[in-house]
Amino acid sequence: MRVGDIFINGIGVELPERQSIESAVEQGLLRTDDATVQGFTSVAIAGDTPAPELALRAAQSAFKDCDVQPVEVALLVYANVWFQGPLTWQPQFYLQHHLVGDSPLAIEIKHGCVGMLSGMELAVGSLRADDKHQAALVVASDNFGTPLMDRWATGAGLTVLGDGASAVVLTKKPGFARLVSVCSGSFSGMEEAWRSGEPLFPPGVTVRRPVDFFGTHDAFRKSVTAEAAAIMSITHIQRNIECIQRTLAEADVRTGEIKKIITHTMSKEEQQSYVGMLGFSLEQSTWDFGRGIGHVGASDQVLALHHLLTTGQLVPGDRVLLCGFAPGSTYKAAVVEILDLPSWAPSR
């Protein structure tokens, strides 16, 4: 989808203290071999701070240097990966209660590691649909420190899970960055890969069944032939590349004109393979930042964008590619152009 008329007017993050990978290995939380392969240095851990509270802090930060007020928000999208609170309760209402009020439509979305990008795409449609809609708030937040999730063992060589939140305020009025394009893709044939070996009913959380990525992946490998697995792997890569190429084409930007590529956080080997497949080097990615906080649910892309701005790595005119994929599979990508530097970003 070509955009160009929607801007990022505010951005906020909330990252808790980090625990070093070295200490996790010493405590027996992570095997030395896995730590070496993954390449992480530390992980953000929120302790007993609820995810909705992290989200509120990130959203409040996003409005500090913004041309709009929270009451002007017409849409609130709350993205998450893990559970937020009581099972019959929805976390977006926490932000309505404490920040934006009751006027906006407030929705929760479960779109995995690309939830923020999906929320931004939904916000574009909402802002364009009504002349009265001037601003949208998109947030993502997760705290994985619960008994049913082992943040240190999400799958052999894949990643470790960090806690934190991010928020962006999108507006029709110009901001420091412009959303140039955002696109989606999917491959529903992959959904089985994320549920193999586990019944659809009753849901695992209702019977206190821990998440077992190793078991799921192993069950799926045993359920398909080598030929079928190869075809699915190739299709997964093709759909991913197609989504990126369409996003760049609709932004009228070539790969060589992208200053940085920001993906969801993976292990070093996975990250290098992924960005290489898309025509980028590991150095062009934000891996050095991500390796210090872990995979923070749906927040990785916005956390890294905020980091690039706060560390002076972007200047007006730079284009950044935000992308990733989520179980299911869903592919997302967006091109953001820096128009100006926010007041909190160092100038060159």
Q: Which residues contact 43 (CB under 8 A, 6 or more apart)?
A: 18, 19, 21, 24, 151, 160, 161, 162, 293, 294
- 192 and 161 part of one domain: no
CA distances from 50 to 91, 143, 159, 300, 326 (A): 10, 7, 22, 18, 23
Q: Which residues contact 124 (CB under 8 A, 6 or more apart)?
A: 1, 3, 6, 170, 179, 182
- 209 and 73 part of one domain: no
Supply the pLDDT for residue 65.
84
Q: What secondary structure letter does DSSP report for 164?
A: E
- 43 and 185 part of one domain: no
Contact criterion met (CB below 8 Å) for 114 and 300: no
Residue 208 belongs to a domain? yes
What is the spatial distance between Cα 52 and Cα 85, in angstroms, rounded to a whole number?
8
Q: Which of 35-49, 144-158, 267-281, 288-302 has the lowest mean pLDDT?
A: 144-158
- 114 and 223 part of one domain: no
Residue 27 belongs to a domain? yes
Q: Which of 176, 211, 236 is the last residue of a domain?
A: 176
**Mean pLDDT to the nearest integer, 45-64:** 98
Q: Which of 23-27, 163-167, 215-219, 321-325 has the lowest mean pLDDT?
A: 215-219
Supply the pLDDT for residue 156.
52
**Mean pLDDT to the nearest integer, 100-129:** 96
Confidence of residue 155 (pLDDT cuts 50, 70, 90): low
**Mean pLDDT to the nearest integer, 37-61:** 97
Residue 215 belongs to a domain? yes
Confidence of residue 237 (pLDDT cuts 50, 70, 90): very high
Q: What is the pLDDT of residues 68-93, one digit of tens each?
A: 999 999 999 999 999 999 999 999 99
On the question of pLDDT at 310 being above 90, the answer is yes
Handedness of CA 302, 305, 307, 310 (dihedral sign): negative
- 12 and 103 part of one domain: yes
Confidence of residue 6 (pLDDT cuts 50, 70, 90): very high
On the question of pLDDT at 348 being above 70, the answer is no
Residue 347 belongs to a domain? no
- 196 and 163 part of one domain: no
What are the strands, taking DSSP E only, across 15-95?
18-20, 42-44, 73-79
Q: Which of 176, 197, 219 is the last residue of a domain?
A: 176
Supply the pLDDT for residue 214.
82
**Mean pLDDT to the nearest integer, 32-38:** 89
Token digits for 219?
């069950």
What is the spatial distance between Cα 167 and Cα 206, in angstroms, rounded to a whole number?
30
Supply the pLDDT for residue 157.
55
Confidence of residue 218 (pLDDT cuts 50, 70, 90): confident
On the question of pLDDT at 18 being above 90, the answer is yes
- 225 and 163 part of one domain: no
- 57 and 127 part of one domain: yes
Place of tokens 């409005």: 63
Supply the pLDDT for residue 9.
97
Supply the pLDDT for residue 11.
98
Determine the residue type at 99.
L
- 76 burial type by CB count under 10 A (0-12 exposed, 13-18 middle, 19+ buried): buried
- 282 and 215 part of one domain: yes
Question: How many domains are contained in the chain?
Answer: 2
Which residue segment(s) compose the domain that 257 sits in? 180-338
Entry pTM: 0.96
Token digits for 228?
């079928």
What is the spatial distance between Cα 25 and Cα 19, in angstroms, rounded to a whole number?
11
Q: Which of 119, 146, 176 is the last residue of a domain?
A: 176
Supply the pLDDT for residue 345.
86
- Report strand pairing: 105-109 vs 73-79: parallel
Q: What is the CATH number of the domain that holds 330?
A: 3.40.47.10
CA distances from 84 to 50, 72, 87, 292 (A): 7, 26, 8, 24
- 148 and 29 part of one domain: yes
Region for residue 82 given its phi and psi (left: phi exceeds 0; alpha: psi -120 to 50; beta: otherwise): beta
Supply the pLDDT for residue 216.
87
**Among candidates 325, 260, 335, 278, which has minimal Cα distance to 115?**
325
On the question of pLDDT at 56 being above 80, the answer is yes
**Mean pLDDT to the nearest integer, 139-156:** 89
Query: What one-character-per-residue DSSP string does 24-38 give?
Result: HHHTTSS-HHHHHHH
Q: What is the pLDDT of residues 261-308, one digit of tens each?
A: 999 999 999 999 999 999 999 999 999 999 999 999 999 999 999 999
- 38 and 169 part of one domain: yes
Supply the pLDDT for residue 213.
84
